[in-house]
Amino acid sequence: MLVLLPVSILAQQDKAGNWLMYFGMNKISDKISVHTEFQYRNHTIAPNNTEQLLLRLGLNYHFSDKAFVSAGYAYIPSYIFDSEQKAPETIEHRIWQQFILTNNIGRVKLEHRYRIEQRWVSSEYRNRLRYRLMLFAPLNKPIIEKGSFFIGLYDEIFLNTEKGFFDRNRLYGALGYQFHKLASAQAGVMHQQLTGSGKWYLQFSLVFNADFRDKND
């Protein structure tokens, strides 16, 4: 995807944007962890025309190392393209729940994420359903560990429960590097398809899964 993404699209600032992202799953016990997330989304490639900010916080309960459930809150202010950016035009408050299940096929790790959202967008209430299938494949080692390069791919569909059933679809591909046993980074591209329109985004993400468990227990 990185190779095939047309340079002409990237050259048109209003045709492609970027997302800068941080994710954390911070263990506080063997069964419980805290989800932390921040995303800075831009209308343009250069980070100078804010589209959205996303702050998401949640609590995870781990049934095993392959399955867990989560619930939390997200705050999302949104800005119109080329506005003065002094204040968001739309503010969304969101409650969310999810179930994540992982399995391996050879060297490839598959992750299934099922998410439900209750959304208060300005004065309007909405419900939304999401499903994401993601895969990770190590390139230079049998498994993803410190020093591994890997490929990350996903497709995610968003469905509304009210009118306008289809909300959007996201297709993503990236190259990642595991530079610490608890931290990795990815750089890639994502295409977001809405009804009647679509847009490319460059994406850069940092994952840091801090472990706050008491090792003396």
Would you kindly state where each structural domain of the chain is located, as residue ranges?
16-208
Would you tell me which CATH number, out of the four given (3.30.70, 2.60.40, 2.40.160, 2.40.10), belongs to the domain 16-208? 2.40.160
Beta-sheet pairing, 197-208 with 16-27: parallel
Alpha carbon distance 82, 97 (integer Å): 33
User: What does each of the 217 residues of the chain score in pLDDT, given as a tens digit?
Assistant: 554 554 555 555 557 899 999 999 999 999 999 999 999 999 988 777 899 999 999 999 999 999 999 999 999 999 998 777 788 999 999 999 999 999 999 999 999 999 999 999 988 999 999 999 999 999 999 999 999 999 999 999 999 998 889 999 999 999 999 999 999 999 999 999 999 889 999 999 999 999 998 765 5
Predicted confidence at residue 5, as pLDDT, reads 54
DSSP lists the bridge partners of residue 150 as 138, 176
Predicted confidence at residue 163, as pLDDT, reads 81
**Structure tokens given for 204:** 């850069």
Residue length of the chain:
217
DSSP letters for 105-135: ETTEEEEEEEEEEEEEETTEEEEEEEEEEEE
Burial of 201 (0-12, 13-18, 19+ CB in 10 A): buried
Alpha carbon distance 58, 206 (integer Å): 18
